[in-house]
Structure formats: structure tokens, C-alpha cells
Amino acid sequence: MAKRKEKPRNQVATNRKAQHDYTITETYEAGVALTGTEIKSVRAGKINLKDGFAQFHRGELWLENVHISPYDAGNRFNHDPLRNRKLLLHKRELAKISGVIKTAGMTIVPLKVYLKHGYAKVLLGVAQGKHEYDKRETIKRREQDRELRRVLKNNF
């Protein structure tokens, strides 16, 4: 039976679909403005990045369509699971990202969420969408690498 790779202790969620659907050109680390019950849910690992993306509104970057489940022990003041969350970046980084995004076909996708010094951070990827034939090429290359590792493992 194959061993499962354990995720690092501070890593909360990853977006594996983004690696399949996009070619990631650059990455940025951003903080996320969360409410009290949201950070408790994130620490519990109840976050889904699958269809998430980031978009500019009035010069600020917002994380959209990321689902953070309501906190189980919360009360009537629990948060909306799909609300838009502000991303915290320096002005230089925001200007650089907005310049790159203005080119055709580029988007910003969340790649992973992790905890750093008690704060939730998001690794954002500036990405370009893949065509169907690019996705097939990626799968083919991955299977070839897996087969090569298997052969090398058996020989040594």
C-alpha cells in the first residue's frame, strides 16, 4: 500500500485543481482579513479553495468564491460561508499584479492556505488557463515520471 504524503502542520488547504487547470507563472503570499469565527473554522481545516479566485475592486484585491464553513460552536453571529474576503498585500505588489493581470488570459487563483505565526495566509498564483491538449500533455508527462520512478526503484 502506498504511503500518503502528510501535509505540513501549518498547511490548512490546497487547491489541486488549480495546478491542473492553469499554468502558474508567479506566486505571492497574502494575508486574509477574517472575522473571529472564520479563523476558527480555518484552523479546523474547514475551507474549500476549489472554485476560488481573486479580483480587483476599487484598487483592492478580494478573494471570492472560497467557502469557509460556519464555526460549529458559533452562535447567531456566525459568518456567511461565501462572503468576499479582502486580501492584504503591499501597494507595490498590488500594482505589479494588476499590471500582469491586464494581459489577456491571466487570472489570480488561490493555491494554498496556511497558518504563519497564528495568521491565515493565502498563496496566490498568477495563472494562465490551459487548453485541453495542454492538460493531456501534463497528465502524460506525470505518468511517464511515475513509471520512471517505479523502474528506478525496482532496479536499486
| DSSP, res 120 | E
The C-alpha angle with vertex 9 and arms to 51 and 50, in degrees rounded to 5, equals 5
Per-residue pLDDT tens digits for 27-55: 999 999 988 888 888 888 888 888 888 99
Residue 65's H or E segment, with its range, is none
For residue 100, give Cα distances in angstroms to 23, 65, 97: 14, 22, 5
3-class DSSP state of 14: strand
Per-residue pLDDT tens digits for 6-25: 556 688 888 888 877 888 88
Per-residue pLDDT tens digits for 79-138: 778 889 999 999 999 999 888 888 777 889 999 999 998 899 999 998 888 777 777 888
All domains of the chain in start order, with CATH: 11-130 (2.40.280.10)
What pLDDT shows up at residue 51?
Answer: 87
CB 139 within 8 A of CB 114: no
